[in-house]
A and B are shown apart, each in its own frame.
Chain A
Amino acid sequence: MDNRLLPAGAALVVGLVAGFLLYPSFGDTATDTPNVDASDGAEPTPAAPASLPVVENRSTLDLVRERGYVRCGVSQGLPGFSNPNDSGDWSGIDVDICRAVAAAVFGDAGKSRFTPLSAKERFTALQSGEIDVLTRNTTWSLTRDTALGLDFVGVNYYDGQGFMVRKELGVKSVMELDGAVVCTNTGTTTELNVADFFRSNGLAYSIVAFEKSDEVVAAYDAGRCDAFTTDASGLYSERLKLADLNDHVVLPEIISKEPLGPAVRQGDDQWADIVRWSLFAMVEAEELGITSENARDMKTSQNPPVRRLLGVEGAFGQNLGIPNDWAFKIITQVGNYGQSFERGVGENTPLGIPRGLNALWTDGGLQYSPPVR
């Protein structure tokens, strides 16, 4: 060991001081501390009451514009919803919502940044202003909508608890599962849902529960139980981890309601509207038959709803505080809801999730957009 620790100690102190002088510009602190002109009355923004957790009285839209990109909270990896692809970019249907918002605000879907969040962090990150939109497969429930200082603006995926069984059982419906052994996770609502469902339908059952979902899949794969239950979207991705995925089938019944949707901070209605209508624009585009490929040609359409959505007629973007071609940009850069769904989780992806509840209302599903008028 060297006997000259003193210069090293002094160097450390200098280093720490230098570090702290430099660090405020580390990350994005410097770009979004607008408190200086917060009291400036010249800002004609639809401001939120000061008591609400919004950065002073600057609207989220202004902050986003100033920063130059939208910040979204995504999962740390949920197949088809938000997951990194081979080139390291985030992809999936939750990611598409964020890209749509960026396209609406900036006309460029690429002006979106993603912050991976754990389930525990996600609400704090939104409340503290670390992100602008939470697009992280979050279930919309009354408690979350009211108690957490956030607003859910819509549903981009109707999820719910489903069952998977082996094809060789020949079971076509959950109602035929009388006396089945069901594998699930311990201590989650999934276990309670199973109990409620089987009891209310007078079916006998027994549960084999495990702590981790990998254990549940392994037990099911090893034949310790007849059926495996979790959220339907999860069933499709877990199915890919089974030895032979074609031997298994997901039953059509959904026994719980898990509407997943984007959320924003409570108290900034304009921003909530922008996110809500970005989602609606994608659904509306699918209903009107506008895709990323034909959007440019559709601009010449004589159909009034198409003309309104694409910004040819009216000034609907202005009402939202964004450019009038907002929906056009969303559709050309991200696609309509159906395209996003098929690209992320649809039948042609390895996940192969059928539209089901997420089909348009015209096809017997629940996806429905209020008119753009």
Chain B
Amino acid sequence: MSDHFVRTTHAPAKPAPRIQIGWVRWARENLFSSLLNSLLTVIAVVLLVVMLPPFLDWAFFSAVFSAVDGSACRVDGAGACWAFVEAKFGQFLFGRYPDAEKWRVVLTLILGIAGLAPLLIPNRLPRQWLVAYLLVPFPILAFVLLSGGFFGLEKVETSDWGGLMVTLVVALTGIAASLPLGVLLALGRRSEMPVIRMFCVIFIEFWRGVPLITVLFMSSVMLPLFLPEGMSFDKLLRALIGVALFSSAYMAEVVRGGLAAVPAGQYEAGKALGLTYWQSMNRIVLPQALTTVIPGIVNNFIGLFKDTTLVLVIGLFDLLGIVQSNSTDPTWLSPQTATTGYVFAAFVFWIFCFGMSRYSVFMERRLEAGAQR
């Protein structure tokens, strides 16, 4: 008989302490990991409890969802006047674009997405052709379709354009023009040719030195006085040119940051291989430089997208402008009308900007994975 005991099986594991599992552990790690974090959690919860019910009440429970005019929203205690957004929804999207011609805007959008989507989603389609399509035939097509006056299409004055459509036209023109122009300006600023370098420096510093609102005012208030009588550029066109030049100067500085981050050895390698300037820029330097500054580029795009609301000051109605001007309609005037309109506009802007920022995160991850391979 032996008096010793050898255990041949494991003792059943004890359950983990309760504070180490489930939601308790999650809360301890994420919400109460330190005194400061606990305090912040409590404050956040209190704020939510205080603010969320009134907001939900305003936005949903007391809100007016359908009405023929603003009288229902003028009732004491009425919440958001969504009926206003509903009644004006067409205008918020298209401005005063004639109903019968709205298919042209939709078609333009489809043509644009058809060109852009394959570029944004990784695939094996010939990218240079897509870029070329977006830069030449597409703007011409978009111009013909939106403005009309050719091929039997009815002419639609730009003063009738408005809403989300103008926001997208201004933002996309600025984005599409600023990237190539910005790259050229950034290269020019680092060029060894003094004339080109000076020109780029002056151009960039000039446009960076003036606020966008000044540029827009100059284009709409001063420019017509300098031009000969009877010669007038379209107001939207003036704003588009101003926005494009302005944003390209900012883009140039972002790209220059990327160029500076590429090690000198890469430039020298290009020269050693006997590549021309453009070959080495195209194949060696720019792909690395642009990848580095994707967050900066997207940041610029988002900023530009939101800056488009400034066209309001020169009487162009972007999404925010058309919301504001429609909230002066006496049939809909009420304590809640303007607020509801602003909340709607903020939501639409948020969707677009959040979408862009998520896309940039996706691109960064993908390119990072490529670099590590």
Contact = CB atoms under 8 A, between A and B. Distances in A.
A125 B314 CA distance: 11
B234 A1 contact: no
Contact of A237 (B69, B229, B278, B330): B330
B321 A76 contact: yes
Contacts of A79: 328-330, 333
Contacts, number: 202
Interface residues of B, number: 75
Interface stretch (B13-21, B25-33, B34-42, B135-143): B135-143
B191 interface: no
A85 B324 contact: no
Interface string B284-327: 00110011000000000000000000001111010001101111
Contacts of A29: 231-234
A83 B317 CA distance: 13
Interface in A93-123: 113-118, 120-121
A205 interface: no
B70 A350 contact: yes
Contacts of B69: 350
B95 to A, nearest CB: 7
Given A9-B180, A26-B147, A114-B159, A1 B328 contact: no
A201 interface: no
A242 B70 CA distance: 13
Interface string B202-226: 0000000000000001001110110
A289 interface: no
A115 B159 CA distance: 6
Contact of B233 (A27, A77, A121, A124): A27
A interface secondary structure, majority: loop
A128 B234 CA distance: 13
Contacts of B96: 84, 88-89
B66 interface: no
B190 interface: no
Given A120-B217, A350-B333, A12 B135 contact: yes
B52 interface: no
Interface in B153-196: 157-159, 177, 180-181, 183-184
A34 interface: yes
A127 B287 CA distance: 50
B300 to A, nearest CB: 16
Given A1-B286, A2-B128, A116-B325, A350 B71 contact: yes
A237 B331 CA distance: 11
Q: Which of A86, A114, A351 has the most CB of B within 10 A?
A: A86
Given A9-B184, A29-B231, A118 B313 contact: yes
A11 B315 contact: no
A84 B91 contact: yes
Interface stretch (A16-24, A150-158, A321-329): A16-24
B282 interface: yes
Nearest to A80: B330
Given A22-B140, A29-B234, A88-B91, A76 B76 contact: no
A130 interface: yes
Nearest to B334: A240
Interface of B, secondary structure class, is helix
Contact of A4 (B127, B222, B329): B127
Given A76-B325, A113-B159, A116-B325, A86 B230 contact: no
A28 B229 contact: no
Interface string A331-373: 0000000000000010001110000000000000000000000
B361 interface: no
B88 interface: yes
Nearest to A24: B233
B87 interface: yes
Given A11-B132, A15-B135, A27-B157, A22 B143 contact: yes
A37 B88 CA distance: 45
B329 A27 contact: no
A243 interface: yes
B329 A88 contact: no
A189 interface: no
A77 B325 contact: yes
Contacts of B132: 7-8, 11
A245 interface: yes
Contacts of A120: 217, 221, 313
A53 interface: yes
Nearest to A76: B325
A46 to B, nearest CB: 18
Nearest to B316: A116
B149 interface: yes
A4 B131 CA distance: 10
Given A18-B140, A85-B329, A124-B224, A5 B315 contact: no
A55 interface: yes
Contacts of B231: 29, 33
A83 B328 contact: yes
Contacts of A55: 229-230
A16 to B, nearest CB: 8
Contacts of A35: 228-230
Question: 6 closest pairs, A vs B, by CB?
Answer: A27-B234, A77-B328, A77-B325, A128-B224, A240-B333, A11-B135
12 contacts: A26-B237, A27-B234, A29-B231, A29-B232, A33-B231, A76-B325, A114-B159, A128-B224, A237-B333, A241-B334, A241-B335, A351-B333
Given A121-B314, A350-B331, 4 more contacts: A25-B149, A55-B230, A240-B74, A244-B76
Interface of A: 1-9, 11-12, 14-15, 18-19, 22-23, 25-29, 32-35, 53-56, 76-80, 83-86, 88-89, 113-118, 120-121, 124-125, 127-130, 214, 237, 240-245, 345, 349-351
